[in-house]
Structure 1
């Protein structure tokens, strides 16, 4: 029994073909939107690539870019097919192409759905990548003379100013690393030498932060050095007073920023998937309705269209049998030992699959 059977008149079939032609051209535009969203996300990730430890996050924009380009091609072909399907005679040129086209479009819509889900499931991986990348970026903040790291200082400073954040998890992260380059330390001062010797690893650690951590909205001049020393500043209490530094950590700020972008893109891609699925459903109805017209032989007659010719269970069973027979075919060819010889999987002799009797040879 056919699934979701619908009866169409000649006028309804022509109208369906015209509407699908228009929707396929709209789908070309949605393909360009997918491509643009993937390109935008890739550019945003590349801007922060120095702050990310893992590069697997590029799989999401690459997926969207590829799906967008494929969408443009598939829907362009679909528009041409639907335009020709208004005329039953022109449909004959596309009859053998329609079913492979629908199957390819079905798997394409699945790829669109996967792309939408990836935008929602990459949160954990993105969070871990940013945590490790920011940790390394802060650690190498002082290495302005080291090739490959000389731009990290400006990158981190611009990040903290733009996102109004400080450190990885907070401003205390700067207390645990040496972020001042050794070339700017005055080794003639006893205070500097004592601080270096007091540390087991020989690092110059201070209770200070870079200037980019300063909150520009604070009425008080920025206190970025000796932050924990109350006596070093007038009318200052480190424990109770609100610091004039950014309170949010850069990891949290970046995760929120990219999460908002990816969830927004995921929602748009999900809507595009629903639109593509509706177009695919319409093309399937058009294909089956026109094939039934050809079987009836009257282009003006009514015809039925459906999504599946048989029920879901029967379709799944027949598909499984086809795959199983293909496996048997490969096994038989491997046992015969000559993969270059094309042999049929089964010999179709008749309705009972019984070979005919051999005729005697007359000498």
Structure 2
């Protein structure tokens, strides 16, 4: 017994094709939006990619870009298919394409949902990427004359100024790295030599921070040298609220920045997915009232395409383009469909076994006719 069987008249088939054509074009627009969101996210990530580890999160925007581009092309083709399928003559040219189109649309609709979920689940990986990237960038802050690292100082300074942050988790992170190049140290100074010898790794460490850590809201000139020494500065309280350094770490600042973008994009992508799957229900529901007076059935776009496909195939079998035809989601019940597919797969597996080849020892009509003629001389 067919699942979801509905009888369509010629006018109802044409109306269904027109509604599906319109919804496919709306899906083309949503595909363009997906592409634009992925491109925007990629540009935002690349702005500060230098302070991220190598295993970045570019696969998320790449997936959105690919999915949006593919969905736009498929729905563009789908609009043409649905509009042509209202005509029995044009339906023949698309008959073999209908099922692959339904499968591809379902696949990319699932990809849209996966992209939305990725936007919400990427926070942990993003935080790790920023932690490792910022730690390495701070280590190479002083290497302004090293190829490949000469722009890290500029990038970190811009980052700290723009996002009002300092260090990886806080300004004290600068106390643990040598951020001043040896070129600018007086190696003949005894104080410099003592500080280098006091560190196991021979680094010049001190309680100071780069100028970009200075807060522009501070009421006094920035104190970036001997930050932890209250006696080195006049009227300076280390625990005072008027400390003139940015308190927030750059990892948290960038994490909040990207999390906000990801959540906004994720919400938009999720709404697009809901539209692709169920947002068309109200539009198609009004059409379903025409199709049956017994109940009001809500149909998704993929279901509508399936109804259009089966209804037009039945019209071709009837041979009358103006006659009514039945459409369904599945020709048989779910159990029968699953059993039939399982038997097909099972028989395909047997074909590779020589002793169980279904084509062996199967008499044909020709063989049946030849065998008696060969045996007659022997029996005579």
- Residues 144-163 of structure 1 mapped to structure 2, 5 A cutoff: 144-163=144-163
Q: Distance in 2 between matches of 1:61 and 1:41?
A: 6
Distance 1:348 1:47, change over 3 A: farther
Distance 1:276 1:321, change over 3 A: farther
Q: Distance in 2 between matches of 1:321 and 1:108?
A: 29
Question: Higher mean Cα deviation, 167-176 or 313-322?
Answer: 313-322
TM-score (norm 1): 0.87
Distance 1:71 1:135, change over 3 A: same
DSSP 3-state at the match of 1:207: coil
Say if 2:315 is the partner of 1:293: yes
Q: Distance in 2 between matches of 1:59 and 1:218?
A: 41
Q: Distance in 1 between matches of 2:14 and 2:360?
A: 41
In structure 1, the partner of 2:52 is 52
Q: Distance in 2 between matches of 1:133 and 1:269?
A: 28
Deviations 1:113-168 (A, max 9, x none): 22222222222222211111111001111111111111100111111111111111
DSSP 3-state at the match of 2:57: helix
DSSP 3-state at the match of 1:304: strand
Say if 2:25 is the partner of 1:40: no
Say if 2:350 is the partner of 1:325: no
Say if 2:114 is the partner of 1:114: yes
| Contact preservation (8 Å) 1:325, 1:345 | no
In structure 2, the partner of 1:250 is 250
Total equivalences in the alignment: 350
- Residues 233-272 of structure 1 mapped to structure 2, 5 A cutoff: 233-272=233-272
- Residues 134-145 of structure 1 mapped to structure 2, 5 A cutoff: 134-145=134-145
Q: Distance in 2 between matches of 1:34 and 1:123?
A: 20
Deviations 1:202-251 (A, max 9, x none): 11111111111111122222221111111112221113444221111111
Cα RMSD over matched residues?
2.5
Q: Distance in 2 between matches of 1:116 and 1:348?
A: 53
| Contact preservation (8 Å) 1:120, 1:262 | yes
| Contact preservation (8 Å) 2:218, 2:242 | no
DSSP 3-state at the match of 1:238: coil
In structure 2, the partner of 1:187 is 187
DSSP 3-state at the match of 1:359: helix
In structure 2, the partner of 1:339 is none
TM-score (norm 2): 0.84
Q: Distance in 2 between matches of 1:305 and 1:228?
A: 79
Gaps of 5+ in 2: 278-299
Question: Higher mean Cα deviation, 149-158 or 218-227?
Answer: 218-227
